[in-house]
Amino acid sequence: MGLLDMYSYLTYYFDSESYPDFRGKIERMTGIQIVAIFDNYLEEHPEEWHFSGALIFYSAINDL
């Protein structure tokens, strides 16, 4: 889960106040659940298909 690792590190180092909230959201999720969140976000936001995967992932997790 490279995107999850990236998001985790960036949140920890650059937005440490929101890090506990982020960890609480994903703590017990499986990889399959995280992929489903990403896929559902793309289905609901087709106008963002041309964005980078990292940006879409960031938006999907923040929508939780």
Its pTM stands at: 0.77
- Domain residue spans in the chain? 2-62
pLDDT band for 22, please (50, 70, 90 cuts). Answer: confident
DSSP H helices in 1-64: 2-14, 19-26, 31-44, 53-62
The CA distance from 43 to 37, in Å, is 10
How many alpha carbons lie under 13 Å from residue 18 in its C-beta half-sphere?
10
What is the rounded CA–CA span in Å between residue 59 and residue 45? 10
Report the pLDDT value the prediction gives residue 7, as an integer from 0 to 100. Answer: 86
Per residue in 35-49, pLDDT tens?
999 999 999 999 999
